Copies of this chain bind each other. A is one copy, B any other.
Amino acid sequence: MTAITLDRNINQNTFHLSDKTLTALTEIMYEQHVEAGTYLFWEGDTADKLFYIKEGNVKLIKGTSDGKEYILNMFDKGDLFGELSSFMNINYSYNAMALTDCVIGVIQQKDLEILLWQHGEIAVEFLKWTSLLNQITQSKLRDLTFHGKLGALCSTLIRMANSYGEKHDNGIRITKKVKNGELGEYIGATRESVNRMLSDLRGKEILGQEKGFLYIYDIDALKDICHCENCPLEICRM
């Protein structure tokens, strides 16, 4: 439920571990290939591993009793995610689905623990990482809870701009295609509501859409709607 970018060449906004840590991690991970549409792990599996995405996209989803699904997180090439809680032998409370074919580096919790135990400085680095992740989650909680569904949507669009956006003529192009339904599952709204809100924003020329890609023309308008605090980019991300 936590992610970090290891690869220095992508997601420039995100926090990075040092080269030393990076190398040490690479040494204790093993590779796993996961096909698009299949699952990396399921709800209930023992949460004793970390996953580093060498290639591909993964989303963490939670199914509910009434058949709905919620997207908890979306991770990309270079991200590291998982739980660090062997001490209480916790289980995952969600499913991890590969959105594309993925190459994953798997790190056993207990191997990592030995590494951290021996290298205090690496542990401190990890600690700062989890602390940052906490701030990310906390900021999402605020954005998704306190300004209605429109606020939740707008803040999510801003996060997408930061995570997957690229400068374009007079706006920002979101390089990752997202379905209305997925946005809904992310913010806890229905597909129809998302659709209508997006239409409105398009009508006001705050957003645009071309060939299935979203464009943000007026990010300040989005910021107004969700009472954006202009958090550092490390925190304001998907």
Q: Which residues of A contact B (CB under 8 A)?
A: 1-2, 15, 62, 64-66, 70, 72, 83-88, 90, 93, 113, 116-121, 123-124, 126-128, 130-135, 137-142, 144-147, 152, 187-188, 227, 229, 231-232, 234
Contact = CB atoms under 8 A, between A and B. Distances in A.
Contact of A83 (B86, B118, B131, B137): B131
Contact of A141 (B64, B119, B140): B140
Integer count of this chain's copies in the complex: 2
A88 B145 contact: no
Contacts of A127: 84, 116, 123, 126-127, 130
A102 B153 CA distance: 39
Given A130-B131, A130-B134, 7 more contacts: A84-B127, A84-B131, A85-B131, A116-B127, A117-B124, A141-B145, A144-B145
A13 to B, nearest CB: 12
Nearest to A43: B229
9 contacts: A1-B135, A84-B131, A85-B131, A117-B124, A118-B120, A123-B124, A133-B134, A137-B138, A145-B145
